Each structure stands twice: as C-alpha cells, then as structure tokens.
C-alpha cells in the first residue's frame, strides 16, 4: 500500500453527500450482491466490508485519523510513519481516487498487502463499472458488534454497540455493509459536524 497521501483527505465527502450518491444510484444493490460473491470467492469477506467514504473532522497537517477500536480520532503522525511507538499501523479505510486505492483512516495491525492485491483490483473494477465514486472498503473483524458511529463535534468519533432503542434517539445512515460468512451485518453512522461551513459536501482542508 502506498504511503499516506494526505491530499486524499480533501477528496473525502460529507456523510450526506456520500449517502446521496448511493441512494441515487440504482446499481448499488447489484454492486452489493456482486461484492458479497467476490469477497467470499477471495476469502476476504471476514476482512473487508463495503463502506460509505465520509469525512469525520478536520485533520491537522501533521496528524492522521486513527481507529482505536471504539473511537476514531486524529493522532500526530508523519505522513511517512508506519508505526506508533514501534507498533505497526495499517490502512483501515480505503477510497479509490485517480485509479488507485488510497488509505484515509488507519488502525493498529500488520499489513498484508500482497495477498489483498487481486481482490482490491477486482473491487476497483466493480466500483468503476457501477459508477460508485464514494464507495470504499474498510477492514473489520467478524466479531465486531453491529455499531452506531457517532461524531458530535471536537473531532472524536465513538462507536456504540447497536441497540434498536438508539433508532428513536438518533438520525443515522447505514454506513457499512458486511457479509461475514454470508451473514449480512450492518453498521450505522450518525455523524454531525462532518462538513465545513464553506463547503459542506466536499471539504477541502485549509480552505478559507
Ligand atoms: Zn462516520
């Protein structure tokens, strides 16, 4: 995987914009069923899930977004850094841009790029074919509970285990579609404060 290219953060849209793209695309459902088949064929259905690429917060120039299990927050890291205190990090969330997969969120863990490249190329073709610009991939574990991701303000997102009682308390969008061993799991997102006031749908860092 390429080193972190922070210019990708300018390409990551708001949740609203990403969600609109999917709901307005009649091919999304066929993409999902094709993804389920392809992920199972490549034995990646327990590693990658489909995600709506969306922005959480402004990211300072010397920071990156890290996923620390129950939270997502910016963390000071050089663009070239591949570890935190000696512990390896790897891409958590990937978006396609200009014909390449680019990481925009990270997590702890060793990278296993080489075994993923065929699968990533196949999903790239499918996304292009279906015209799903802001659909990306996110790593996960099948043991992750179904969650609701909440970003209020201040740049920290928390992920709370999904409970149907939450349904009445939050407005949310479905964010992630996972098919571990053929059993669909859904992850949801209620992220506010994800756009900038000057450009709510396509946020550019350092924009006046
Ligand atoms: Zn979110």
Q: 39-48 pLDDT, tens per residue?
A: 999 999 999 9
Q: Give the pLDDT mean for 135-144.
A: 90
2-11, 22-31, 149-158, 190-199: range with lowest mean pLDDT: 190-199
Higher pLDDT, 202 or 10: 10
CA 29–ligand 1 middle distance (angstroms): 21
Q: Is residue 186 part of a domain?
A: yes
Q: Give the pLDDT mean for 67-91.
A: 93
Q: Give the pLDDT mean for 14-21.
A: 85
CA 144–ligand 1 middle distance (angstroms): 16
**Model pLDDT, residue 17:** 84
Q: Is residue 77 part of a domain?
A: yes
The number of distinct structural domains making up the chain is 1
Q: Is residue 140 part of a domain?
A: yes
CA 50–ligand 1 middle distance (angstroms): 13
State the burial class of residue 72 (Cβ atoms within 10 Å of its Cβ: 0-12, 13-18, 19+). Answer: buried
Residues 6+ apart with CB under 8 A from 133: 21, 96, 127
pTM of the model: 0.87
**Model pLDDT, residue 192:** 58
**DSSP-assigned letters across all residues of the chain:** -PPP-GGGGGT-B-HHHHHHHHHT-TTHHHHHHHHHHHHHHTT-TTTEEEEE----S---TTEEEEEETTEEEEEE--TT--EETTEEEEEEEEEEETTEEEEEEEEES---HHHHHHHHHHHHHHHHHHT-TTEEEEE--TTSPPEEEEE-STT-EEEEE--GGGGGT---EEEEEE-GGG--EEEEEEE-S-S-SS-TTB--TT--
pLDDT in tens, 81-106: 999 999 999 999 999 999 999 999 99
Residue 205 in this model has a pLDDT that exceeds 70 = no
User: pLDDT band at residue 198, thresholds of 50, 70 and 90?
Assistant: very low
CA 93–ligand 1 middle distance (angstroms): 12
Q: Is residue 207 part of a domain?
A: no
Domain that holds residue 154: 10-191
Q: Is residue 22 part of a domain?
A: yes
Residue 199 in this model has a pLDDT that exceeds 60 = no
């Amino acid at each position: 995987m390429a080193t972190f290219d922070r210019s990708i953060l300018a390409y990551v849209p708001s949740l609203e914009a990403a969600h609109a793209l999917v709901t307005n695309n009649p091919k999304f459902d066929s993409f999902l069923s094709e993804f389920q088949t392809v992920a199972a064929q490549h034995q990646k259905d327990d590693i990658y899930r489909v995600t709506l690429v969306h922005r959480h917060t402004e990211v300072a120039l010397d920071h990156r977004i890290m996923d620390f299990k129950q939270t997502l927050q910016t963390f000071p890291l050089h663009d070239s850094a591949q570890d935190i205190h000696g512990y390896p990090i790897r891409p958590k969330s990937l978006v396609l841009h200009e014909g390449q997969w680019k990481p925009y969120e990270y997590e702890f863990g060793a990278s296993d790029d080489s075994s993923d490249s065929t699968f990533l190329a196949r999903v790239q073709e499918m996304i292009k074919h279906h015209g799903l610009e802001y659909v990306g991939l996110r790593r996960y574990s099948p043991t992750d509970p179904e969650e609701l991701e909440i970003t209020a303000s201040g740049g920290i997102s928390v992920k709370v285990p999904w409970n149907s009682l939450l349904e009445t308390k939050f407005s949310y969008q479905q964010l992630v579609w996972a098919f571990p061993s053929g059993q669909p799991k859904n992850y949801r997102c209620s992220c506010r404060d994800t756009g900038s006031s000057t450009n709510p749908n396509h946020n550019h860092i350092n924009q006046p």
